Structure 1
Amino acid sequence: MECVFGLVGNGFALVVADSSAVSSILVHKSKEDKVMILDSHKLMGASGESGDRVQFTEYIQKNVALYQFRNGIPLTTAAAANFTRGELAAALRKSPYHVNILLAGYDKETGPSLYYIDYIAALHKIEKGAFGYGSYFSLAMMDRHFHSNMSVEEAIDLVDKCILEIRTRLVVAPPNFVIKIVDKDGAREYAWRESIKDAGVAPA
C-alpha cells in the first residue's frame, strides 16, 4: 500500500512518502526512508519493489555525485531527471527496475521543479503528482486544494489533508510518512507524520 506524492510551491518543492517496508502480508519496518537526498538541491521519492527501489536510487545518487566530481558542476534537475529516465529505459529490455519516481529539485536559474518518472521510463515535468495506492486519494485532494505559488504552510496543510485521507480511506493504510523539502537553502528533511513506532525486539 505504498504512497509517494509531491508538489511545487512558491520557491520550493516537496516530496512525501510512506515509510513502511512491506513484503506480502508482513511489515518489516515502519520507518523506512523512501525519499533520498540526491545532492544538495535534489530529492528523489521512490516506490516499488524494495530491492529495486534501494539499488536504483543509490545508483542514481552515486552517478549524480560522480558527474559533479568529474565536471566540477552539478547536474540540473532537468538533466538528472533525463539521466534517470535514460537508465530506466536502458534497463527495460535487460533487467527492468520496478520503481516509480518523483524527482524534485531547485536550480538558481529556473527555481523549483518536479518530475514524474515511471517504471517504463515515461518522463513528465509536473506541478503535483503521486504514485501508489494512496495516489487515488492524494491526487483527488490536490486537484481540489492545490494552486500555483502555494506557501510552505499551505503546502504542509495540504500534505496533512492527503495523509489523513489516505489513513481514512485505505483498508491497509501506512501509518508513518516522511516529508522532505528542497528550496534555495537546499534539500532536507522537514517533518515526520507518525502514528506508530517501530516495535523493539523482545529480549530472549
Structure 2
Amino acid sequence: MECVFSLVGSDFAVVAANSSAVHSILVHKSNKDKIMILDSHKLITASGEPGDRVQFMEYIQKNMALYQFRNGIPLTTTAAANFTHGELATALRKNPYSVNILPAGYDKETDPSLYCMDYIATLHKVDKGVFGYGSYFSLAMMDRHYHSVMTVEEAIDLVDICIMEIRSRLVVAPPNFVIKIVDKDGAREYVWHESVKDAAINSA
C-alpha cells in the first residue's frame, strides 16, 4: 500500500512518502526512508518494486555525482529529470524498472520544480504529483486545497490532511510517513510522521 506524493509551493518543494517496507502480507520494517537526496538541492522519491526502486534511484544519484565531478557544475532539476527520463526509457527496451518517480529540486534561475514520471517513462512538469494507492484520496485533497503560492506551513498542513485521509480511508494504510523539503537553503528532512502505535512504542 505505497503512497508517495509531492507539491511545489512559492519557493520550495515538499516530498512525502510512506516508510513501510512490505512484501506480500508481511511488513519487514516501518522506518524505511524512500526519499533520496540526489544532491544539495534535489530530491527524488519513487514507488514500485523495492529492488527496482532502490537500484534505479541509486544509479541516478551516482551518475549525477559523476557528472558534477567531471564537469564541475551540478545538473539543474530539469536536466536531472530529463536524464532520469532517458535512462528509464532506455531500460524500458532492455530490462525495465517497475518504478514511478517524482523528482523535485530548487534552482536559483527557475525556482522550485517538480516532475512526474511513470514506469513507461512519460515525463511531465507538474505542480503536484502522487503515486500509489493513496493517490485515490491525496490527489483529491490536493485538488481541493492546493494553490501555487502556498507557504511552507500551508504545504505541510496539506500533507498532513493527505496523510490523515489515507490513514482513515485505506483498508491497510501505511502507518508512518517521512517528509522532506527542498528550497534555497537545500534539501533536508522536515519531519517524520509516526503512527500513534509506533510513537507509543518508541517512547516506552
Distance 2:61 2:14 in 1: 18
Look up the equivalent residue of 1:105 and give its one-letter code. Answer: G
Distance 2:63 2:69 in 1: 10
**Corresponding pairs, count:** 200
Distance 1:115 1:63 in 2: 19
For the residue of structure 1 that corresponds to 2:163, the secondary structure is: helix
Distance 2:93 2:106 in 1: 32
Matched ranges for 1:90-169 at <5 A: 90-169=90-169
Q: Could you tell me which residue of structure 1 aligns to residue 23 of structure 2?
A: 23
Q: Which runs of 5+ in 2 are unaligned?
A: none
Backbone CA RMSD of aligned residues: 1.2
Look up the equivalent residue of 2:155 and give its one-letter code. Answer: A
Deviation by residue 1:97-138 (Cα, 9 ceiling, x = unmatched): 001110000001000000001110000000001000001111
| TM-score in terms of structure 1 length | 0.96
Distance 1:132 1:44 in 2: 15
Matched ranges for 1:1-204 at <5 A: 1-195=1-195, 196-197=197-198
Distance 1:152 1:40 in 2: 19
Distance 1:94 1:39 in 2: 28
For the residue of structure 2 that corresponds to 1:180, the secondary structure is: strand
Deviation of the 1:33 alpha carbon: 0.4
Q: Which runs of 5+ in 1 are unaligned?
A: none
Deviation of the 1:94 alpha carbon: 1.0
Structure richer in helix, relative to its length: 2
Deviation of the 1:149 alpha carbon: 0.8
Deviation of the 1:197 alpha carbon: 3.3
Deviation by residue 1:33-52 (Cα, 9 ceiling, x = unmatched): 00000000000011110000
Distance 2:171 2:165 in 1: 12
Moved over 6 A (4+): none
For the residue of structure 2 that corresponds to 1:197, the secondary structure is: helix
Deviation by residue 1:3-35 (Cα, 9 ceiling, x = unmatched): 000000010001000000010000001000000
| TM-score in terms of structure 2 length | 0.96
